[in-house]
């Protein structure tokens, strides 16, 4: 797959510098526009550019196991600016860095199933699936699980998958969803309202040169689940 970076080529990823997490810690203590404006160059140098280099380094891995996903240094990363319009928390900046890898042509967010990376002081999180499916998406996912239960169970019960991702987390209905009997063999799965899994890694991993290889290995293991959900929702 050809690289499609818009304005510049990114250097090989050598690990996030210590200043990346240090900046996020300082931002948490000084979460205001004046401070950020005075330190924006630090943000660009120690957070934004290393994250873009990291995303660029993931591209050849995804080209191998999930070529239909958009892995792009500019499109895949989340902006540092918070949307405070509907939040009681009016602090203007996020105190973490994050990226979301979605199907090509789809916006970041919750339209389909994808991969999510989150790096903050004390935490590196990698996960995948769909976090907030709407009612129509849920109906399609439940239908696919009911009709393709063997395929679904083979994905979530695969030993290597369970070793990395012990549980599919999320809210569940108390009662069976409409159209399914309480004794349905897949009823506990059909009650689920979210289909997302992930795990926390230690902060130290983000300083390692091999972080792209490590994150790609988790994403590769997540791919059958991600693909099952997108196929169920008719997004493939």
* Residues 37, 39, 84: CA angle, nearest 5 degrees: 50
Structure tokens at 26: 């300082």
| Residue 115 maps to a domain | yes
Q: What is the pLDDT of residues 141-170, one digit of tens each?
A: 999 999 999 999 999 999 999 999 999 988
Per-residue pLDDT for the chain (236 aa), expressed as one digit of tens each?
Answer: 334 444 458 899 999 999 999 999 999 999 999 999 999 999 999 999 999 999 999 999 999 999 999 999 999 999 999 988 888 889 999 999 999 999 998 877 656 899 999 999 999 999 999 998 999 999 999 999 999 999 999 999 999 999 999 999 889 999 999 999 999 999 999 999 999 999 999 999 999 999 999 999 999 999 999 999 999 999 86
Q: Is residue 101 part of a domain?
A: yes
In a domain, 152, yes or no: yes
The pLDDT value recorded for residue 6 is 45
Report the number of distinct structural domains present in the chain.
1
Which among 161, 158, 10 has a CA at the least distance from the CA of 72?
Answer: 10
Look up residue 56 and give its DSSP letter: H
The per-residue pLDDT for range 101-126, each reduced to its tens digit, is 999 988 776 568 999 999 999 999 99
**Please, are residues 229 and 141 in contact by the beta-carbon 8 Å criterion?**
yes
> 3 in a domain, yes or no?
no
The per-residue pLDDT for 87 is: 85
Give the CATH number, domain containing residue 183: 3.30.930
The predicted pLDDT at position 107 comes to 76
Do 95 and 103 meet the contact criterion of CB atoms below 8 Å apart? no
| Residue 30 is assigned to a structural domain of this protein | yes
The structure's pTM equals 0.93
Residue 191 lies in a domain: yes
Q: Minimal CA–CA distance to 44: which of 14, 72, 77?
A: 77
- Tell me which DSSP letter residue 204 carries: G
3-state class (DSSP) for residue 176:
coil
CA distance 94 to 134: 26
155 belongs to a structural domain: yes
Residue 49 in any domain: the answer is: yes
Its domain, for residue 188, covers 18-232
């Amino acid at each position: 797959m050809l690289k499609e970076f818009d304005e510049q080529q990114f250097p090989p990823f050598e690990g996030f510098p210590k200043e990346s997490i240090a900046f996020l810690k300082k931002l948490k203590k000084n979460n205001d526009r004046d401070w950020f404006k005075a330190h924006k160059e630090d943000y660009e140098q120690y957070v934004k550019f290393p994250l873009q280099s990291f995303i660029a380094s993931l591209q050849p891995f995804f080209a191998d196991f999930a070529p239909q996903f958009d892995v792009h240094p500019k499109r895949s990363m989340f902006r540092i600016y918070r949307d405070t319009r509907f939040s009681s928390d009016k602090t203007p900046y996020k105190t973490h860095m994050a990226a979301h890898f979605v199907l090509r042509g789809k916006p970041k967010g919750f339209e389909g199933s994808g991969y999510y990376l989150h790096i903050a002081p004390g935490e590196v999180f990698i996960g995948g699936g769909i976090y907030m499916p709407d009612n129509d998406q849920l109906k399609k996912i439940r239908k696919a699980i009911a009709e393709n239960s063997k395929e679904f169970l083979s994905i979530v019960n695969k030993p290597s998958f369970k070793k990395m991702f012990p549980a599919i987390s999320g809210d569940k209905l108390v009662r069976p969803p409409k159209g399914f009997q309480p004794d349905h063999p897949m009823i506990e799965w059909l009650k689920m309202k979210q289909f997302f899994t992930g795990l926390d890694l230690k902060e130290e991993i983000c300083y390692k040169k091999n972080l792209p290889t490590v994150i790609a290995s988790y994403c590769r293991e997540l791919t059958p689940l991600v693909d099952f959900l997108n196929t169920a929702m008719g997004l493939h």
